[in-house]
């Protein structure tokens, strides 16, 4: 199972995500792509197996990921203070991976119906959703099911 974590700005959210994922699922491959080198460095220090920076790594890694995790802005062109390009947002949106988007209400992108949860609560929910995807995939492989993964 290959998990791609995408983050920008200072990479704080990505860093916390990778630490939680690594602690909970030590067996998975974690790839980190930062929209800038500071974010990439923070995620690499947090325990990512591999890391890269910029538009082309987002495009390439999105094709290879089973799960993509990051702030909701990774699917919105010009978000994260302009760090997410249209090509990056499109690559994430078109990926065959399951996307787990963290509803961070900032940078002029507000998500209706989302309460103001703390970052730690949002990250705990994201890790739980990753658990559901991994368990569903293990069951599908074990039992030979061909169904698409569905999150409850």
* CA gap 44, 134 in Å, rounded: 22
Establish if 39 belongs to a structural domain. yes
Establish if 149 belongs to a structural domain. no
Establish if 152 belongs to a structural domain. no
Establish if 137 belongs to a structural domain. yes
Confidence of residue 107 (pLDDT cuts 50, 70, 90): low
Q: What confidence score (pLDDT) does residue 143 get? A: 75
- Count how many domains the chain has: 1
A 10 A CB-CB count for 146 gives 5
Establish if 37 belongs to a structural domain. yes
Reference 16, options 126, 130, 132, 133; nearest CA is 126
A 10 A CB-CB count for 151 gives 11
Confidence of residue 6 (pLDDT cuts 50, 70, 90): very high
- Cβ atoms of 69 and 132 closer than 8 Å: no
| pLDDT (average), residues 126-147 | 82
Reference 67, options 16, 118, 136; nearest CA is 136
Q: What is the pLDDT of residues 19-56, one digit of tens each?
A: 999 999 999 999 999 999 999 999 999 999 999 999 99
- Tokens coding 117: 């949860």
Residues in the chain, overall count? 152
Reference 102, options 79, 115, 119; nearest CA is 119
Domain with residue 86: its CATH number is: 3.40.50.720
Establish if 93 belongs to a structural domain. yes
pTM (two decimals)? 0.86
Residues of the domain holding 32: 2-143
* One-character DSSP codes across 86-132: HHHHHHHHH-SSEEEEE---BTTB--TT-----HHHHHHHHHHHHHH
Pairing of strands 98-102, 29-34: unpaired
| pLDDT (average), residues 139-147 | 71
- Lowest-confidence region among 88-97, 122-131, 132-141: 132-141
Establish if 151 belongs to a structural domain. no
Q: What is the pLDDT of residues 46-86, one digit of tens each?
A: 999 999 999 999 999 999 999 999 999 999 999 888 899 99
Establish if 75 belongs to a structural domain. yes
Three-state DSSP state, 60: helix
Query: Residue 13 class from Cβ within 10 Å (0-12 exposed, 13-18 middle, 19+ buried)?
Result: buried
């Amino acid at each position: 199972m290959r998990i791609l974590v995408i983050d920008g700005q200072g990479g704080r959210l990505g860093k916390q995500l990778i630490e939680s994922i690594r602690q909970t699922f030590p067996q998975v491959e974690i790839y980190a792509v930062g929209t800038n080198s500071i974010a990439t460095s923070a995620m690499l220090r947090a325990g990512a197996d591999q890391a890269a920076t910029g538009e082309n790594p987002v495009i390439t890694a999105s094709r290879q990921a089973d799960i993509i995790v990051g702030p909701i802005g990774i699917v919105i062109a010009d978000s994260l203070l302009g760090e997410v390009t249209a090509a990056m947002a499109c690559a994430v949106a078109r990926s065959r991976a399951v996307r787990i988007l963290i509803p961070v209400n900032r940078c002029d992108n507000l998500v209706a119906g989302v309460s103001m949860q703390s970052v730690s609560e949002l990250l705990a929910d994201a890790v739980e959703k990753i658990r559901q995807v991994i368990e569903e995939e293990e069951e599908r492989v074990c039992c030979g099911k061909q169904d698409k993964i569905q999150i409850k």
